[in-house]
Structures are given as C-alpha cells and as structure tokens.
C-alpha cells in the first residue's frame, strides 16, 4: 500500500477525549472528539478565544494535552516519524521566523527537508500571487507573507494541511484564488484540509464541511449544504417540543428558554425526516448558525 493513500477508513487526524488547560487558566478544550478524513475540506468556526488555535496546535502535536489522545495517520501526534511528519503542512496564524531570508532562500531551505516538493506548483503560485523572490521577507506586505507561508505549506503536497486563519490578511481576490487552490488539493490528491476562519462568506463559496467549536468541544460538524437544510429551529411548549423531537428522532443542539413554559430548540433533522403538518421549523442561514452554535 502506498503510504500516501491511506484507506478511506483511516482518518488523517483522530482526536479522542482531548482536554487542554493552560497553566493558571480555565480549560480551553474539554473532552473534545474530532475526526478528519481524507478528501475533506473542513472550516473550523468559533468565536475569538474559543480555542481554535489551541485545538489546531494540539492536533499537530505542538501542545501537550492535559488528557486525551491525538493521532495523525495512525501515529501519536507528539511522536511522529519523519515520513509521517513530511505528510503534514501547517500555516500558523503569525510567523516572524525567517524575516531576514528572501522568499527564494526560505523555499530552498524548506525544500531540503522534504522528499517530495512540487517546484512547478511553487513557481506557478509565486508568479500568480506576485511575490518578490529576492526581497527580505520582513519587507513583504502582510498579505504577501501569508501567501508565501501558504505556498511553503502546499509545496511538499501534504496529505493533511492545517491552516490557522489563513485568509485573514488576504484581499477578496486573493481569498478566492486561495480557496480554489485548497479545493484543488483535495480533489487532486484526496488530501485533508482544515482551516480556521471567522469569515463566513469564505465558507459559502465551496461545499465545505463546517465544524463549530464551542465550550471546548466540536458542537457539530457536517457539510454546509446539509447544515442549512437539516438544522432547524422549533418553538413551542417544552412538552410539545420534546414530543416532536422524539417523533422525529432528532437530538436538540441548543435549547433557549422563552417565557410561559415555552422554548426555542435548535435540532438537526435526520436525513429524509418528514415534518408533521402544521409544525413551524425555521431554517437558519450560516450567520444565524454561527451565532447560535458558537
């Protein structure tokens, strides 16, 4: 079996019961479970401070969990062998390293570490994204630095690509181009791509999977089109809503108490569920889902 194409049943990343607390701080992640499969593009959504960076760093084995397990391609994330490490690409949120290198020097340096390196892709993106090869990196704009960091992470054709707020300093045209590149990664090679963002419109451009991080856990993950179709808001008395949930086989995702013994409940309908006549089940757009679930 080629090491680069694990069977579809082997997750690229498999997180079980992950808890993480910073010294003297509150718990950021609490018993979090998350699986990322080959061929998935996952947008990780959460409010500021929800723990997205912490989660991505723990996923990469860069932070030690208080408890729980993280496996990448079947190996513990903190003790990967070199071949497995070479299958991972990471674009951190900020990186001030290598500021005195030029882009050309930076890429040559990284190329020396990887058995696989797609020079044609690197050259194509460097030209298309208009990055000066010879200036010191500290003289590039924020957007150019970010693009360079993305090129560096795509160059060795990783099977798992992790990006922390990668589009934050790109302009809208840069974001579109970048998203096309990401999707190309997945379609061409069955890679897994996960990135955190708070720019909801980016997620709506492509049929991404969306994972909501809230209260230390992945509250929900599903393809965006399924979420928009299946997550509904029901309003009624507590007993009416409970009976409806039981009848539909739906699990409440969030319950919001209203006055006079009524409540508003967000729940995901099972696929092909038939709503009884006369039941109001409001659809939510992505903005509303973000507000309600994070």
Within positions 117 to 146, which residues make up the interface with ligand ADP, using CB under 6 A? none
Contact 195, 175 (CB under 8 A): no
Binding span for ligand ADP by CB under 6 A among 7-15, 45-53, 102-110, 111-119: 45-53
> Minimum distance between the CB of residue 48 and ligand ADP, rounded to whole angstroms?
5
Return the number of the residue (58 or 244) whose C-beta is nearest ligand ADP. 58
Output the CA–CA distances (angstroms, integers) from residue 25 to 16, 22, 29, 78, in the order listed.
22, 5, 11, 23
113 binds ligand ADP (CB under 6 A): no
β strands within the chain, DSSP E: 13-21, 27-36, 41-45, 67-72, 75-76, 88-91, 160-164, 192-197, 209-214, 217-223, 231-237, 252-257, 262-268, 281-283
Name the DSSP letter for residue 60.
T
22 binds ligand ADP (CB under 6 A): yes
Smallest distance, ligand ADP to C-beta of residue 141, A: 23
Instruction: Report if residue 2 touches ligand ADP, rule: CB under 6 A.
Output: no
216 belongs to the binding site for ligand ADP (CB under 6 A): no
Secondary structure of residue 230 in the 3-state scheme: helix
Q: Per the structure block, which two tokens stand in for 204?
A: 């709506």
> Least Å distance between CB 44 and ligand ADP?
9
* Residue among 48 and 112 whose Cβ is closer to ligand ADP: 48
What φ, ψ does residue 176 adopt, rounded to 5°? -65, -45
Q: Take residue 75 and report the two structure tokens written for it.
A: 């190996």
Among 11, 46, 174, 236, binds ligand ADP (CB under 6 A): 46
Binding stretches for ligand ADP (CB under 6 A): 22, 25, 28, 46, 48-54
């Amino acid at each position: 079996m080629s090491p680069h194409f694990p069977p579809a049943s082997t997750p690229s990343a498999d997180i079980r019961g992950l808890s993480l607390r910073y010294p003297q701080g509150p718990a950021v992640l609490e018993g979090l479970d998350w699986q990322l499969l080959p061929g998935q593009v996952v947008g990780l959504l959460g409010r500021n401070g929800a723990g997205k960076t912490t989660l991505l760093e723990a996923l990469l084995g860069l932070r030690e969990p208080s408890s729980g397990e993280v496996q990448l391609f079947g190996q513990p994330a903190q003790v990967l062998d070199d071949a497995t490490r070479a299958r991972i690409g990471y674009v951190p949120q900020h990186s001030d390293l290598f500021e005195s290198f030029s882009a050309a020097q930076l890429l040559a340096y990284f190329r020396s570490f990887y058995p696989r390196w797609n020079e044609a892709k690197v050259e194509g993106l460097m030209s298309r994204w208009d990055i000066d090869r010879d200036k010191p990196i500290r003289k590039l704009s924020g957007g150019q630095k970010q693009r360079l960091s993305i090129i560096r992470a795509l160059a060795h054709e990783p099977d798992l690509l992790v990006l922390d707020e990668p589009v934050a300093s790109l302009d809208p045209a840069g974001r579109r181009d970048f998203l096309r590149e990401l999707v190309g990664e997945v379609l061409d090679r069955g890679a897994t791509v996960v990135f955190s963002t708070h720019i909801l419109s980016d997620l709506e451009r492509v049929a991404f999977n969306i994972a909501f991080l809230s209260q230390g856990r992945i509250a929900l993950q599903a393809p965006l089109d399924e979420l928009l179709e299946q997550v509904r808001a029901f309003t009624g008395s507590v007993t009416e809503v409970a009976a409806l949930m039981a009848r539909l086989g739906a699990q409440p995702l969030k319950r919001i108490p209203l006055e006079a013994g009524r409540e508003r409940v967000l729940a995901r309908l099972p696929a092909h569920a038939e709503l009884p006549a006369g039941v109001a089940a409001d659809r939510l757009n992505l903005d509303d889902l973000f507000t309600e679930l994070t």
